[in-house]
Structure 1
Amino acid sequence: MASLTADAVVCAVRAHGEHGAILRALTREAGLIAGYVRGGRSRRLRPILVPGNLVALELRARTEDQLGGATVELQESRAPLFAEPLAAAAIDWATSLTAGTLPENQLYPALYDALSAVLDAIGVAPSARQWAAALARYELLLLAELGFGLNLEECVVTGSSNDLAFVSPKSGGAVSIGAAYGYEERLFRLPAFLRGEDSNPAMSDVLDALAITGHFLDRDVLDGRNRDLLTVRQRLLDRLGRAVA
């Protein structure tokens, strides 16, 4: 019998049968896993099986290919954050993106740490700007972990690491000010914080970063599939836009 005991971030929950639920959760030890939670739709378990919550998970299956039975105990509840529409939209997007794009049972420890950091930031950051920047970095990391990393370290045209200010929507490579001359309107603006050069980015920089990651998520990861995820993301962007209007 295959088994796993680990802390896990709840990413998606789907009703199964009259009383049960299929849980998808991200763990540091085993990546994204799925399991059947008996009584998962009960009054006791519904508040635990909330996307974004941290749970102590125990998963048991007879074979590696069988959907295992899961039991959960609440470690940290993020359910109160859903009372705030902007925070709710951010948690919905971060967890939906994770559940909808990562293959199951593959290790992504860096993504687990980054997702946990994003969710922590949503709970404690004094403004949306701080956690939205962390979310943009999470999206950038997810692209890299899935094999679609962007080259933001050197100019895709000249090879220089100086004066990088734009990103090519075709290559995903950085472009220097000089190489971009005359083509600026066709390129994304590169916020310095995506390169670790600004610890306190403005919201305009964060929105520029989300435009970059959103473009490559749509083109390379979603690629015509999971289109409903883009609706979830757009809802978040709309609320971020209203928050800074």
Structure 2
Amino acid sequence: MRFSTPALVVALRPHGEHGAVARLMTPDHGLQAGYVRGARGRQLRPVLLPGNQVQATLTARTEAQLPQATVELLHSRGPLMAEPLPAVAIDWACALTATALPEGQPYSRIYAALDGLLSAVEAAPSASGWGAALVRYELLVLAELGFGLDLESCAVSGSSSDLVAVSPRSGRAVSAATAVPYAGKLLPLPHFIRDGGAAPWPDILDGLELTGHFLLRDLLTDRSASVADSRVRLVDRLRRAAGRA
């Protein structure tokens, strides 16, 4: 096996005295792991930061062998690591990708969405500029892995209008009239999720409450549960930022 591809660094695990196993999200080959010699050295350490875009070449003699990887930096998001909120957002988005996706299966939509989310974090002056993109990214990961929510019509009436909530059990949308008897038991469905566009702080936080429920229930279980700590830190900081806005 040998191929060269652009990739997003999503995780790095020390291996041996100086090397590390990098987990790379690629557009056509999905999530790939490769051993990088000297990964913890002065030259490669800033290259292999989560969120960075690299050109990677992976080679292996057999399919069962861990590939050797060489990387060249294409775009660094390292400066964002000095900014607390962008840093924790990148950490969470990359950790979710590295943990939830199976290796070697192409997820071109997830690659494109992750790259777009990271670019939005980089470009936006405030988290209010990329919070909606984060919610959409989490929804996409759920959908691509078979846990998508049904937000097209009301689970009870079948109506596609005035959808305001989601059943925490079925993941199906609920209209305003149908939701009344179940007040306090349903998850909020902010309008931007269906309508697109930017979102105010309350809607972003409602969106994160929605996606967080299904991520914890369906994806971040067993050994993956520890990754949820990154999300808890992110949501806590977003709530503080919303309180200051």
TM-score band w.r.t. shorter chain: over 0.9
In 2, the alpha carbon distance for the partners of 1:12 and 1:224 equals: 19
SS in 2 for 1:104: coil
In 2, the alpha carbon distance for the partners of 1:10 and 1:24 equals: 6
User: Structure 1 counterpart of 2:147, which letter?
Assistant: F
1:206 to 204, 207, 216: 204
Give the superposed CA RMSD. 0.9
In 2, the alpha carbon distance for the partners of 1:44 and 1:243 equals: 35
Q: Which segment is superposed worse, 179-188 or 55-64? A: 179-188
Structure 1 runs (4+) deviating above 4 angstroms are none
User: Structure 2 counterpart of 1:30, which letter?
Assistant: H
Q: Say if 2:141 is the partner of 1:151.
A: no
User: Structure 2 counterpart of 1:218, which letter?
Assistant: L
Shift of 1:175: 0.1
Scaled by the length of structure 1, the TM-score of the pair is 0.97
Shift of 1:198: 4.5
Q: Say if 2:240 is the partner of 1:242.
A: yes
In 2, the alpha carbon distance for the partners of 1:135 and 1:171 equals: 22
Aligned position for 1:170: 169
Structure 2 gaps, min length 5 = none
SS in 2 for 1:13: strand
Scaled by the length of structure 2, the TM-score of the pair is 0.97
Matched residue count: 243
The percentage of aligned residue pairs carrying the same residue is 56
SS in 2 for 1:63: coil
In 2, the alpha carbon distance for the partners of 1:198 and 1:145 equals: 19
User: Structure 1 counterpart of 2:28, which letter?
Assistant: E
Aligned position for 2:134: 135
In 2, the alpha carbon distance for the partners of 1:172 and 1:114 equals: 22
Q: Say if 2:60 is the partner of 1:61.
A: yes
User: Structure 2 counterpart of 1:68, which letter?
Assistant: P
In 2, the alpha carbon distance for the partners of 1:5 and 1:198 equals: 35
Structure 1 gaps, min length 5 = none
Q: Say if 2:118 is the partner of 1:119.
A: yes
SS in 2 for 1:153: coil
